[in-house]
Amino acid sequence: MKASFGVLFLSLVLSHTVIAGTNIPWTKEGCESVKGTWVTAHSPTDDGCDAAHCNGLHFCRSNVSMNWWSAMIWCKSIGHKLVDLETACPGGLVQDRTCANLCHKISGWSWTNQEAEVPGSTRALFNDACAIANRNITGNGPLGLKVAICEE
């Protein structure tokens, strides 16, 4: 039993050390070096955007689907954080529940760092062909596998 706790403790210490020491450059090359896809949001001057809803920021999207905890850890492991909904969609979702900032930029389900209204779930952000829906989804199991989107 003591040996099990010792191995667990050692693995946690080592994994924490690795996570703390990794910090990719916030560039396309840095994101691609960790098997991510570099995403540039729309700028305020793009068609259909304004300064209240588009920020032109860069995000790193994982190429692998994972549960919410793994998404949070993946972003931290590369020296960044899981995206905040306000950063991803400045000004919030518009009336038709779309996100002008990432419209046609990110498709499929992706994790945000928002806490869910339903205990035991996490918040996912869906952006596919400009259709947004916030959903409370459990962070594990087949339905809980989404991509991570990290912000600087």
Domains identified in the chain and CATH numbers: 24-151 (3.10.100.10)
pLDDT in tens, 4-16: 444 344 344 434 4
Residue 9's pLDDT is 45
Residue 118's pLDDT is 61
Residue 112's pLDDT is 84
11 or 114, greater pLDDT: 114
pLDDT in tens, 37-83: 999 999 999 988 999 999 999 999 999 999 888 999 999 999 999 99
Question: Tokens 């790193």 sit at which residue?
Answer: 60
